[in-house]
Structure 1
Amino acid sequence: MASTLPLVRIQISVFLISASLISYQLLLVKMFSIQYWYHFAYLIISIALLGFGSSGTCIFLFKRQLKNRFPFVLFICPLLFVVSIWMNLYLNRLIAFNPLMIIWHTQEIIHLLALSLSIFVPFFLGALCIGTTFVAASDHIHTIYFANLTGSGVGSLIVFLFFFHVSPYEIMFIISLITLCAAMVGSTNRMRRGIICVSGIVLIILYVLLFRFLPLPMSNFKDLSQAENLTDAQKEMEVFGPFGLVTVLSSPAYHYLPDLSLKCPYPLPRQKGLFLDGNTVGAINEFTGAIHDIRIMDYRTNALAYKLLDHPEVLIIGGGSGTEILNARYHEAKSISVVEMNDDIVHLMQETYDTFSGNVYTFANTRVFIEDGRGFLQRTRERFDLIHISLLESMGTASAGVYSLNENYLFTTEALTLCLDRLTPGGLLSISTWIKNPPRDTIKLLAMAVESVKRHGDNIPDQSIVMIRSWQTATLLVKNSAFNRNDIWAIREFCKNRLFDISYLPGVDEKETNTFNILEEDFFYHAAISLLSQEREKFYRTYPFYVKPATDDRPFYSHFFKMNMLQEYLSSANRAIIPFLDWGYILVLITACILVVLGMTFILAPLVFALPSRKGLISVLVYFGSLGMAYMFLEISILQQFIRYLYDPVFSASIVIGSFLVYSGIGSLIAGKVSPLKSKYIFWSVLIIGIAGLMFLSVDLWLQQAISGFPMWLRMVSCSLLIAPLAVPMGIPFPSGLSTFTAERDVLIPWAWSINGFFSVIGSSAAVLIAIGCGFKCIIVIALVLYILSAFTFIRLRRNVP
């Protein structure tokens, strides 16, 4: 009964609903990063696609009813979508899911399943509305698909802009209003329009009186939740931005300086905690300007580099709370350049806490650059005597391995090599990190340093690397030359006077290590000796954790999990340590398995048993399954690669997702103009995809160099244009496949929709798991192979589905 609605109104409704769906999906990614941790992004993407696939099953089973009541579907689904997203606020608090215990306590899998189902409902409702449109207006599939993709693309761009100025609940409120507008456009009588108006008024009242005052939920295991239990703890500031939720907490009991020596005779200054998404960034130190008040800076592992340099020109990557800036000021650095990508933190430090921190960000010899550290290194041609990279993450998240699937292009072998390129002769690279038990990331960092020195080419690794440790942190020094005798003597005296242990030093004897902060076995020394010898590859194979150097193609610095360790983790003897190991990888693996089971249950099984004819089903399965997985593979891979072009994960996600969807929508519109669509057009589109993908792989490094010096707006435009040759033809095969179903076989339309959604679910989770083992470029190759498979399958699809 689509004829009762003009095509333009249908397109507008689909456009608005699609914009709401993608906006809500991206908002949930951000909110779950606050409530839990970053890798839940993959869970959200998978559940969203599962909702799309399951809606195809519903449409298939109730096709006649939905098609006959199409205007009612366009009215009721958006209304229920609005109700469900606000209900999820309550359900997310009600479901007591603790991801740290997901393997230790099996009931947490049930909680994860319940959480997944609660998130699933809004996406199912939105997708049901869009999928029904394909069936009800099957003569206009290409234009409907165009509205669907462009709506999603525009929605992804707009929601990222909202992150700069609007709180999460305000964004939800705006999404709700957009969805109600979609329902209004699809309404065919006054009563329904009146219901929508009343719903809008009720929503406004509830938001003003209730919703906007709700606090953002947060796991009790996050650092901020723990700090709130301290004496007289209170939140002083809370700012939401594109990089997350920045919080400042004050408490007389709050102290944070993890690399401080146990022998330090001086008291810590008054401190305020600085947190991002509930994880510790650092402590804002009270500083009056009197240098003797910060004498504690001389009793840190991070002070070692200053003992080997005289009034250095310093680059600090990750300014954070300003502790390392104070460290440089105490040691009389000639100039201090600070790179901090989170402008909310910079503004807080330069304005609200400028006086409290002693003008740490605004001192005369201090320059501040608001950009990504890797991007600054790539762009600048300056040379520095010392480059310091701050601690990666809080101890709680480091120990639990919650960032094991977090891509980090600052901690790759290529990035460390770039750091060495930006050092003056004899300059130092200083990196500090937590000590985990058993040791993992410190050893991987050491392996990356060895590889970067070899790539740099001018020095010998065993003469250019030093590592020392305190009781809970380790500091690595890499010199742009060999450490001389005076350096080695100064390092020994520094460690002796501050009770720090030498993990590796040119010419060190094992008896000199592990003397103060004693371990049962000095893993660090033995690892260093192995990594600096010909036994390196054997060490990688035999060490219980994955410690091979991270690279730009596999930028998972915090990933250490090996599959052959899973059985040992689950043994009765080792089960108690599971919460403190790399469960991030395990969680995504379990999530992927759950979603595959749900997909089989809600998508494939009902359709296979209910289809009246099995003719051509294999062709439909292979064609639309290949397209779903290939599209997700390419989108996720390109998104990750473009972070190195834009040096900003937020803008990268915005540009890549938005451009892919809009350009694919344009491709769908172009395909709709070609009638009848022949197999050769599909082959041509796949050929263009293949050429564009292979060209990208071949000129990737050149592109990174070529556009690194562009201003941000020009880099964004360039990246968007680079996506066009790939994304436009990617929008052709899916609607073209749907258009092959004649009126006698249009029952296959919702099944094809479901198949595409099911394999997209698999693709979204599988992409990152494959990337860990093979790299993102391998995923691009796999995607191109899948597109070639779909092109050949299209011939059988046309033959078997007349």
Structure 2
Amino acid sequence: MEDSKEQMVAQADPGGEATPRYGWIAFGLALATGSTIALEIVLTRIFSVILWYHYGFMSISLALFGLGLAGVYVYLFPGRFSRAAAGRVTAQAALLFALTSMAALFCFQWVVSVPEHWPLQVGFRTLLFVSTAIPFFFAGLIVAVPLSRYTERIGVLYGADLLGAAVGAVLVIPLLGWLGGHGAFFACSALAALAGITFSIAERKKGLLIGGLVMLGLAVAGIGMTSNTDYFRIRYVKRGRSQDDVIAERWNSFSRVAVAETRKPEPYRRITIDGGAATPMLPFSGDLQSVNFLARNIQALAYYIHTHKRALIIGSGGGPDILTAKLFEVPSIHAVEINPLIVDYVRNVFRDYTGSPYDLPGVSFTVADGRSFVARSDETYDLIQLSEVDTTAAQAAGALTLVENSLYTVEAFQSYYDHLTENGILSVTRNWTVSSQTMALRTVDLIRRSWESRGNTDLARSLIVVAPGPETALSWGTLLASRRPFTAVELASVNRVAKRLGWKVLYSPVGKNLESINALLGPERDEFLREFPYDVSATTDDRPYFFFFLRPLSFLFGEGDPEDDLDWGSRRTPRILLQLFVLISVLVLVFTFLLPMMIGRLRFGALHGAGRGLMYFASIGLGFILVELSFIQRYTLLLGQPLYAFACILGCILVCSGCGSFVTHRLRDERRAARIVLSILIGGVTIHAFLIPWILAHSMGFSLAARIGVTVATIAPLGFLMGMPLPLGMRLLKRESPQALAWAWGVNGSLSVFGTVLAMVISIFLGITTTILAGALGYLGALAAVYRRAKTTP
């Protein structure tokens, strides 16, 4: 009876408006949200290339905040967004979304292309963030207006919102590959224009339809401009490094890979990933003697110990480690490289230059994540080598998760140990020197924990740590860990080579060693870790942040001595994260809560249940984003390849949530349904936090299809439930405080922004499991709000 009454009201608006065309509105919402999430991801990719990935995170946080702020704006000025005008306003917002997004890209390109603007000062960075956040305000209006004005179809509309976002998250992967970063940006604007056209059709407004066609034409012209002119060519990247020497550039969903000509100290071509991490591509015509200088690199240390028959190279990049192995006559070499663009450059595009080390006799290769490859492999190796394998790029998940590296965790090193022969050696090359050993200490602790977990307690005689000599300008050191103790002959060989090539032995089973490494390997290890100024304890799959060393108090109150042995990025990261945390917290507090209350549009005592309603929507917004981001982090390890991981994880969550939203219109008692759904969701998330790590660990060796199946099977039930609380809450709030509907949507969106930063901070210091449990606490707060409302509702 109640549903029939709502439908009658919907069909007979006081203003005499025609029945809304819900099908067109839902389709327009799907197009708009697909465009929105795709644009967020493209922005992350562009920011990760030109600025550091931290700023990509900040831009997306501000963009998400724009989505939430739109809901607050609709609440503060309800007269501009009446039900009668909802369709027209939504169409206008879609056109403005398309227009401002294109304008933002031109503004962005102007800022970063002018040499005098570098290094970017606060004013220019602020301009970048504001200009890229404005389009998301209009994107927020596209969602906030229909959801708050057509609540009789909230389940269908919110479901379309989520399903559209899922499609956008998947669609952006080929868009980046086909069109590049800037072309994909214009493609997102085209989707927004299509949304405007759809809303115009729903409203039967020819003027708006023509406007939509104009926006679509401009977006298509922009795509053509990116491919046919060099206006949008990237001219400068991180710290203002010029890209004039770039001779080739391609994009995929998780990187921009460029090739540059370099003539210092010797001519070679450098492959850079997102303008930061680099790998050399050497000129090679088949004569190994032309690259015999590789034998003098510190990465070659393991080859001086003894001969190796089988070598596994993780992160083979441009191929120098393959050539080094061939120099030392290793008969069987398997290379693993995660980025297909790099392999294609070396094997195909620049084959005449590189000689394609991947195709040399005795060499095989796999394009995959190294960790996943090792877990699935049945082979054992005499040498497993990781040389400078890392990146400061933000993945396709957007900088929604802090950059982590699952190659450097206890569980990863345990897997390496299991795939070594009895005489096998693990070689790890990372950036440490005689005066800067922080990363070396963490790597030693990783070896200690993983080796001991496999019953190897004689690590003191199975470890060698070498750094470049103080008179060199090099900053890469190498650690060797063997499954058996090194022999006297092998140790003597290392000492001779180190002396001849100017290396410094920091630790060896014989000789004078670094006291800090002795402490890590001795009984006083725990005391040393407590007293050391930085956190150098071993990272795990639950806390995989290998490059983050600051302790909580240092993170909050300072970034350490600028002259200490942390590199620039390790010191810069915490400061930026703290600034971001404070900035987002202030923005959420002021614009989502204080500003609406100060204006006086809604007073908690004046409208029954509004305060508890806002608590409910804040809680589910926080819970959703904490759980979603934790899932992305956890399951990326299982799926390995970033392209499959992002599409599968985020797509599964959003599709299942959309399906859950669609079925809520069949539930008559919203309050009872919300209680049941939230109770099951809290229990399911809690169980998931503790059970799924075990399931994932035992699924790492499965085929890709089976791992995708495990992902879907374990995510889908919770994803389905996660889509239900919001539409149920909107229907409840409509009866008790209808004026607060738009504000509630804004609160939900703004707390999602806060949750992205909170998830990052929690997972860094307490782990991914704790972050998931924090998400369960968020849903518990929503459940408490439902019960409080039930007790006070007459």
Task: Check whether TM > 0.5.
Answer: yes
DSSP-derived class of the 2:421 partner: strand
Whole-angstrom distance in 2 between the partners of 1:730 and 1:206: 38
Which consecutive segments of 4 or more residues in structure 1 shift more than 6 A?
394-397, 570-578
Whole-angstrom distance in 2 between the partners of 1:7 and 1:589: 44
**What residue number does 2:741 align with?**
749
**What residue number does 2:579 align with?**
590
Contact 2:627 2:771 survives alignment (8 Å)? yes
**What residue number does 1:604 align with?**
593
Question: Quick check: 1:254 aligned with 2:247?
Answer: no
Q: 1:404 to 1:28 in 2, by over 3 A?
A: closer
Whole-angstrom distance in 1 between the partners of 2:585 and 2:392: 33
DSSP-derived class of the 1:247 partner: strand
**What residue number does 1:473 align with?**
476
Letter in structure 1 aligned against 2:148: V
Q: 1:198 to 1:760 in 2, by over 3 A?
A: closer
User: 1:673-700 CA deviation, whole Å, 9 max, x = no partner?
Assistant: 1113232x22321233234323433433
Provide the TM-score with structure 1 as the length reference: 0.89
Q: 1:126 to 1:631 in 2, by over 3 A?
A: same
- The correspondence of residues 217-256 of structure 1 with structure 2, limited to 5 A, is 217=234, 220-221=237-238, 226=241, 228=243, 234-251=245-262, 253-255=263-265
User: 1:12-41 CA deviation, whole Å, 9 max, x = no partner?
Assistant: 111111111111111111111111233345
DSSP-derived class of the 1:355 partner: helix
User: 1:403-432 CA deviation, whole Å, 9 max, x = no partner?
Assistant: 994210001111111111100001100010
Contact 1:254 1:273 survives alignment (8 Å)? no
Contact 1:741 1:801 survives alignment (8 Å)? no
Whole-angstrom distance in 1 between the partners of 2:615 and 2:705: 40
Whole-angstrom distance in 2 between the partners of 1:108 and 1:220: 15
Whole-angstrom distance in 2 between the partners of 1:484 and 1:403: 48
Contact 1:316 1:389 survives alignment (8 Å)? yes
Whole-angstrom distance in 1 between the partners of 2:741 and 2:685: 29
Q: CA deviation at 1:197?
A: 2.1
**What residue number does 1:5 align with?**
20
Q: 1:15 to 1:246 in 2, by over 3 A?
A: same
Whole-angstrom distance in 2 between the partners of 1:396 and 1:704: 25
Provide the TM-score with structure 2 as the length reference: 0.90
Letter in structure 1 aligned against 2:722: M
Whole-angstrom distance in 1 between the partners of 2:739 and 2:650: 31
**What residue number does 1:159 align with?**
172
Contact 2:690 2:769 survives alignment (8 Å)? no
Contact 1:152 1:661 survives alignment (8 Å)? yes
Flag structure 1 segments of 5+ consecutive residues without an equivalent: 256-267, 511-524
- The correspondence of residues 372-771 of structure 1 with structure 2, limited to 5 A, is 372-393=369-390, 405-435=402-432, 438-471=436-469, 472-510=475-513, 525-565=514-554, 581-609=570-598, 610-614=600-604, 615-679=608-672, 681-742=673-734, 745-771=737-763
With 496-505 and 85-94 compared, the bigger mean Cα shift is at 85-94
- The correspondence of residues 29-428 of structure 1 with structure 2, limited to 5 A, is 29-67=44-82, 68-95=84-111, 108=121, 111-187=124-200, 188-209=204-225, 213=229, 214-217=231-234, 220-221=237-238, 226=241, 228=243, 234-251=245-262, 253-255=263-265, 270-393=267-390, 405-428=402-425
Whole-angstrom distance in 2 between the partners of 1:716 and 1:405: 23
DSSP-derived class of the 2:352 partner: coil
Letter in structure 1 aligned against 2:378: R
Contact 2:113 2:234 survives alignment (8 Å)? no
**What residue number does 2:6 align with?**
none
Q: 1:360 to 1:209 in 2, by over 3 A?
A: closer
Contact 1:97 1:108 survives alignment (8 Å)? no
Contact 2:671 2:728 survives alignment (8 Å)? no
Q: CA deviation at 1:52?
A: 1.9
Q: CA deviation at 1:672?
A: 1.6
Q: 1:499 to 1:570 in 2, by over 3 A?
A: closer
User: 1:64-111 CA deviation, whole Å, 9 max, x = no partner?
Assistant: 22124222212211111111111222332455799xx99xx9x95555
Give the length in aligned residue pairs.
758
Letter in structure 2 aligned against 1:639: I
Q: CA deviation at 1:716?
A: 2.4
Whole-angstrom distance in 1 between the partners of 2:391 and 2:722: 41
Whole-angstrom distance in 1 between the partners of 2:792 and 2:429: 62
Q: 1:548 to 1:741 in 2, by over 3 A?
A: same
Letter in structure 2 aligned against 1:644: L
DSSP-derived class of the 2:53 partner: coil
Contact 1:38 1:403 survives alignment (8 Å)? no
Contact 2:159 2:658 survives alignment (8 Å)? yes
Contact 1:569 1:578 survives alignment (8 Å)? no
User: Percent of pairs identical after alignment?
Assistant: 23
Contact 1:450 1:532 survives alignment (8 Å)? yes
Contact 1:56 1:603 survives alignment (8 Å)? no
With 663-672 and 696-705 compared, the bigger mean Cα shift is at 696-705
Whole-angstrom distance in 2 between the partners of 1:367 and 1:438: 36
With 50-59 and 571-580 compared, the bigger mean Cα shift is at 571-580
Contact 2:57 2:400 survives alignment (8 Å)? no
Q: 1:551 to 1:733 in 2, by over 3 A?
A: same
Letter in structure 2 aligned against 1:8: G
Q: 1:620 to 1:701 in 2, by over 3 A?
A: closer
Whole-angstrom distance in 2 between the partners of 1:363 and 1:110: 52
Whole-angstrom distance in 2 between the partners of 1:191 and 1:97: 37
Whole-angstrom distance in 1 between the partners of 2:633 and 2:317: 24
**What residue number does 1:521 align with?**
none
Contact 1:146 1:666 survives alignment (8 Å)? yes
Q: CA deviation at 1:164?
A: 3.5
Q: CA deviation at 1:115?
A: 3.1
Q: 1:209 to 1:603 in 2, by over 3 A?
A: same
Letter in structure 1 aligned against 2:456: D
With 66-75 and 548-557 compared, the bigger mean Cα shift is at 66-75
Whole-angstrom distance in 2 between the partners of 1:176 and 1:435: 45
Q: CA deviation at 1:447?
A: 1.6
Q: CA deviation at 1:207?
A: 4.2
Flag structure 2 segments of 5+ consecutive residues without an equivalent: 1-12, 470-474
DSSP-derived class of the 2:357 partner: coil
Contact 1:667 1:731 survives alignment (8 Å)? yes
User: 1:172-191 CA deviation, whole Å, 9 max, x = no partner?
Assistant: 23222222221112112222
Cα RMSD for the two superposed structures: 2.9
